[in-house]
Structure 1
């Protein structure tokens, strides 16, 4: 859950730190007090689109930071952290977003700088924001198949992963086939270029690691004098009269003369004798080495010339000889394909056919699982719709093509099937809100209030599958009142039993259901406007509910009504512990 949120220099917010609890937290306040601005800040933490307009006037940057506590060890955030090399320790994740007045965006996860794309990957596993405009996502049919898959991830996810792997591989093969088959003139030019490159590399007669070996030999020749002097001086420091070895010999002979009188001296004499012979051997090796050293200026010129040629090739084909040889191998294969295009096209066509059939079989399995999930989802939606006084509504999920697997051909692909990234299913959520009316797509039937209720139904059903830490509702109850408002309040509370819920509302019924009620107030000291957040006590909550009921004037009747709302909410909560 979102444990703490810090916001600084953001819009009309100067600096605030808000702590959040589990369950349902409601944010209320006058219009324009800054409720939605707080949600905007959270949305930016989740990787939302930023604007310099968010930076408080006169400030250099706006800062947002959120601390999230993760309870289950199988939460998706751990997989995301592993993917991007960011460790999630002690079940905590800190997201940070800074927006500068120049328009730059700086993102961090657990203190590490990340790109906006990576921040978004973390954010979507932690935060799910729904506003009164967000319900428009229900209007996009392409998103419906993903929602359906989310309903039964245990059975669908594994099959979908296998299908996606086969489909991506199939698309890559098709692209290769298209590239090889189209534009004869372009292919001829490509062949000429590759043959020129291959011949240029072949004529260089490169050998693996040749550049590294030549550079090493060049360094030795370039430092010949220093090497010769160093080895020569080392040898003469060891060998000769009154030199190192001579003194070592004297030392080991002196110990040999007295070793019989003391066992410890005998041991040291033996060790020193071993060192003497070892150093004598080293000195002979040094002598042999410097006697064989010979400076060849012609060889140095040859090496420089060869390295110049290799460096010229590196500018074209790779940063090392090994990379150049690897590139040579790749273009040799492509040359062979271009010269024997027809046979390769035939092979690719056969591979495409086989892979397409394998993907088709996986798509059939996906279709069957989705049909089964759709039947169960429709039943669940109808139960939930009745709770929101849409008992006359009828919900359905349409499939195009609407096939049964037993009618599909298993020996070869059915000609009516066209594979895409989600299989061959095109899924649409359909609804009729009045008796006798035909089922239609959501955007052609539902009003704003109905759409809010349908979204809440789906959100409650998917809450246990989605896995996000915090669900945020920004005035999703717009356009409803009376008993529907109470039903929405109860539904939002039920969602909070699955995930932490933060809710901005103008409905007293929803506010009364809160486990924690925070009041957003805009202060104006005649110099600068700022926003403050206060957690309400029970008496303060009664006053705020009264204000929400009457508008401005607090009457005894309104207070009694507010107390009644709190009592009803408490009774409902106790029934759903």
Structure 2
């Protein structure tokens, strides 16, 4: 649930901190006081689309921050752990700063995140429903997601299996399409590949050849200097009056010194060992000098070979290994093209088997959806009756989707596979007895849409794992006993989820566990919004104002008292 919301320099809000409680919290106030701005702030904090226009005039940035607490097994905790976000005590602190230039900086528990991650986690914490959210209910393309969400646990595995096979089938189809390109293009590829392979094979490349040649060229081009250096080193060690001669004299003197002082024995031995090591080094230097060749012809050959390799590298890879790997790939592709008819035939057999398997999974999905549709229809009708739509007929129709791009022939019939099955889902409605069922978007009025949406939300709220639900004036277009039914329905949702509700209905306001009054004041020629929790007496006055609209009278106060008493009895 949302524990606290902090807003700074956002729209007409200068600085505001609002604590929230469990149950149903109602926000009321005059039109334009800033009720919807608070909901907009929450929406942006959850990853909604931002704009520099939200930054209060004259300020550099707007700052939004919210504290949420969730259950230990909440999906937001799992996602945060996957992203390396520390979640201690199941607490989430979401923060979003928006600059006057339109840039956003997002953080979750202090860690910088992208707007996409903020949105993914934010939308698992809060579900915002406003008048514009009705549009999703009016669009058939969203109905499938609603139905699948109704039976998420039962359908997820089958849906995942289907999507995995569907992806494999599309990849196979792509391979077949590539192999089935026009003959002229294939012939051109064959000529190109054959030329490239011949050029690489003619070079007779050896692994690491280029590195070895670079090293050899370096030695050959510096052979005279190398010989001179080795010769100087050898002469410094070997010969009369040279290093080894002096070291031999030192050993002779130390040998005689040991007869006087036995403690010099180790020194004598180490000096003797050094002499033999240096002598061996001198012999190695001599042999190395003898092996050095001044071979201009070999150097010219190495230079020429490196030039040839460089020419191949410009075409096929930065190293000899990459050139050889490229040749291997080209050889495979060439073999594939030369024997493409056999390959296509084999791939088509594999693809047909995949289509058959996919149809089995698709039919399983359809059966699950039909079963879910029947249950959802029953549940929605039950909810609609409690919202005084008892004469309404509602049905979730599961039908086969129309033929699209992916429609293979299976047993003589084209099957219209899609990313999530072969079904289309659409909600149908009839609000009057004797009238046929028609698509929801064509027959429902604003008030009816509000009630249908509320019915769906009542069914889904406990299943979606959402910690908070926000209703932004979803009660538009209703009054009287319907308004009372909506109030009771919203309260019912608040039992399982924290609910924040902006309303103009006194019946809904009376049902609140917490009533927040939004006001707008002018200070130093600037407008700012404030939020005040109402006491019992203040609730009476506010509900009376909502009833009368203009003047609060004793009669409207009595009516407000009655509404509060009725709400209290209902909640008991």
TM-score by length of structure 2 reads: 0.81
Alignment correspondent of 2:30 = 30
Which stretch shows the higher mean deviation, 311-320 or 432-441? 311-320
Alignment correspondent of 1:261 = none
Which stretch shows the higher mean deviation, 287-296 or 513-522? 287-296
Aligned CA distance change for structure 1 residues 473 and 183 (closer, same or farther; 3 Å): farther
Deviation string for 1:85-132 (max 9, x for gaps)? 444443223333333333333333333333333333223322222111
Distance 2:145 2:571 in 1: 32
Distance 1:308 1:553 in 2: 97
Spell out the pairing of 1:165-244 with structure 2 (5 A cutoff).
165-195=164-194
Question: Which one of 484, 490, 493 corresponds to residue 492 of structure 1?
Answer: 490
Alignment correspondent of 1:550 = 548
Which stretch shows the higher mean deviation, 332-341 or 215-224? 215-224
Three-state SS of the structure 2 residue aligned to 1:464 is coil
Larger Rg: 2
Distance 2:532 2:215 in 1: 71
Alignment correspondent of 2:404 = none
CA contact (8 A) 2:373 2:398 kept: no
Alignment correspondent of 2:155 = 156
Alignment correspondent of 1:264 = none
Aligned CA distance change for structure 1 residues 571 and 350 (closer, same or farther; 3 Å): same
Deviation (angstroms), 1:529: 1.7
Three-state SS of the structure 1 residue aligned to 2:94 is strand
Deviation (angstroms), 1:443: 0.6
Distance 1:512 1:277 in 2: 106
Aligned CA distance change for structure 1 residues 241 and 508 (closer, same or farther; 3 Å): farther
Question: Which one of 490, 500, 503 corresponds to residue 502 of structure 1?
Answer: 500
CA contact (8 A) 2:27 2:501 kept: yes
CA contact (8 A) 1:357 1:413 kept: no
Deviation string for 1:258-305 (max 9, x for gaps)? 9xxxxxxxxxx99x9xx9999999999988987887899989999998
Deviation (angstroms), 1:217: 9.2
Three-state SS of the structure 1 residue aligned to 2:59 is coil
Distance 1:146 1:179 in 2: 34
Alignment correspondent of 2:63 = 63
Deviation (angstroms), 1:347: 1.5
Which stretch shows the higher mean deviation, 460-469 or 99-108? 99-108
Deviation (angstroms), 1:324: 5.4
Alignment correspondent of 1:468 = 466
Distance 1:21 1:300 in 2: 86
Spell out the pairing of 1:248-267 with structure 2 (5 A cutoff).
none
Three-state SS of the structure 2 residue aligned to 1:497 is helix
Alignment correspondent of 1:91 = 90
Alignment correspondent of 1:45 = 45
Alignment correspondent of 2:528 = 530
Alignment correspondent of 2:570 = 572
Deviation string for 1:205-245 (max 9, x for gaps)? 6666777888899999999999x99xx9xxx9xx99899x9
Three-state SS of the structure 1 residue aligned to 2:415 is coil
Which stretch shows the higher mean deviation, 21-30 or 205-214? 205-214
The alignment yields a C-alpha RMSD, in angstroms, of: 4.3
How many residues align? The count is: 543
Spell out the pairing of 1:382-461 with structure 2 (5 A cutoff).
382-401=381-400, 413=411, 415=413, 417-461=415-459
Distance 1:49 1:329 in 2: 49
Deviation (angstroms), 1:378: 1.1
Alignment correspondent of 1:146 = 145
Gaps of 5+ in 1: 259-268, 403-410
Alignment correspondent of 1:81 = 80
TM-score by length of structure 1 reads: 0.80
Alignment correspondent of 2:539 = 541
Aligned CA distance change for structure 1 residues 331 and 535 (closer, same or farther; 3 Å): farther
